[in-house]
Amino acid sequence: MGSGAAINTHIMNRSGNPWRWLIILPPLLFLLIFFLVPFLYTLKISFADAVIRIPPFTDIFTRTADHHLRLTLSLDSYRRLFTDHLYALAYLFSLRLALCSTLICLALGYPIAYAIARARRSTQNILLLVIILPFWTSFLLRVYALEAIIANGGLLNTVLLKLGLISHPLIIMYTNVAMYIGIVYSYLPFMVLPLFATLEKLDPALIEAAADLGSPPWRVFLDVTLPLSMPGIVAGSMLVFIPAVGEFVIPSLLGAPGNLMIGRVLWDEFFSNHDWPTASVVAIAFLVLLVGPIAIYQHMSGRHAEA
């Protein structure tokens, strides 16, 4: 089939073919306008001042009396980011909480993923569906459902009190512990799936070879299984860590009122304080400090994988 197909492929890839822009342009333009341009607007508003009107910020471009365009950049909001310790504390708190939850997810998710990867193929499909199914049901409702278990009068305390294991109800709701439980519970499937994908590809012959050569099971795990499943560990951790840092629903429903999760702080800045320029600065700092390094890392590791 060689030449005909090659010519056709050539035609489709030739840069001069105007028809392909009918395919490329709609998604490209849409995402440019509604995903990329918003960040430019955010950058612009981060240099404005907060005022009480609609919309609640000054215009950085103004017309002077002689019809010149004047650019007024205010660095007040950026200054606030460094002088007000709330934001630094919120970043550190969110990073720590997300990191710890990611590690707990990894510790819980690894055995689950391992067990699915070693199951029979017919069972595997069912188990995967069982793990994915909660992800399809509403995130908001699943977080809310936790409340019925961990609330002061919830199922957990009721059972423990009945069994006589505790004399006073455990205070979990509206604490950091509740946020950990919420994040681990909601994001566990995101950890299990990439781990499963790498563990499934892992050749059992390697493990058997290591065992035949006299390695005890824990050495086999540390020397063979764990290093080979590193791509899955990295992918799963990313999928849990990044959304967890910016999480809003979990801290606002399960966490203490006024907790320092950055997503919640940002929400308050916007809806309660109506300080849009400061919210913009926090959003931009968030991007630069979190999403930026991760995007660069992924780009680099993608290059390595291609090479």
Partner 1 sequence: MSGGNSAFRVTALCVGIAVLYLPILVLIGYSFNASPLVNVWGGFSTVWYAQLLRHQNLLDSALLSLEIAFTASSAAVVLGTLAAISLVRFSRFPGRFLLTGMVTAPLVMPEVITGITQLLLFVSLLQTFSWPHRGFLTIVLAHVTFCIAYVTVTVRSRLQSADRSLEEAAMDLGAGPTRAFLEITLPLILPAILASWLLSFTLSLDDLVISSFVAGPATNTLPMLIYSKVRLGISPEINALASIIIAIVGSCVIAAGWLMRRAEQRHELEMREAERANAPPAVPAGGGRPSLAVRSPS
Distance CA 197, CA 16 (A): 40
Are 194 and 232 in contact by the 8 Å Cβ rule? The answer is yes
> Which residue in the set 86, 93, 142, 215 belongs to the binding site for partner 1 (CB under 8 A)?
142
73 binds partner 1 per the rule CB under 8 A: no
136 in contact with partner 1 (CB under 8 A)? yes
Q: Tell me which residue of 106, 174, 111 sits closest to 146, measured CA to CA.
A: 174
The pattern of x and - marking residues 38 through 67 that bind partner 1 according to CB under 8 A reads xx-xx--x---------x------------
Q: What is the rounded distance in angstroms from the CA atom of residue 240 to the CA atom of residue 182?
A: 12
Residues between 245 and 304 that touch partner 1 (CB under 8 A):
245-249, 252-253, 263, 266-267, 270-271, 276, 279-280, 283, 286-287, 291, 294-295
CB closer to partner 1 out of 28 and 51? 28
Among 134, 175, 197, 228, interactor with partner 1 by CB under 8 A: 134
Minimum CB–partner distance for residue 172 and partner 1 (Å): 13
Question: Residue 146, interface with partner 1 (CB under 8 A)?
Answer: yes
- Interacting residues with partner 1 between 152 and 171 (CB under 8 A): 153-155, 157-158
Minimum CB distance to partner 1, residue 248 (Å): 5
Judged by CB under 8 A, the residue of 69, 71, 163, 205 near partner 1 is 205
End-to-end CA distance of the chain: 30
Among 1, 65, 213, 307, binds partner 1 (CB under 8 A): 1
Of 190, 200, 196, the closest CA to residue 237 belongs to 190
Surface-to-core class of residue 157, CB atoms within 10 Å of its CB (0-12 exposed, 13-18 middle, 19+ buried)? buried
The beta-strand segments (E) located in the chain are 61-63, 69-71
Query: By CB under 8 A, is residue 240 in contact with partner 1?
Result: no
For the chain, give the longest Cα–Cα distance: 87
Question: Taking CB under 8 A as the rule, does residue 9 contact partner 1?
Answer: yes
How many other C-beta atoms lie within 10 A of the C-beta of residue 32? 11
Number of residues that bind partner 1 (CB under 8 A): 96
Q: Give the span between the Cα atoms of 268 and 262, in whole angstroms.
A: 10
Residue 88 contacts partner 1 per CB under 8 A:
no
In the list 5, 65, 69, 213, the residue contacting partner 1 (rule: CB under 8 A) is 5
Burial of 139 (0-12, 13-18, 19+ CB in 10 A): middle
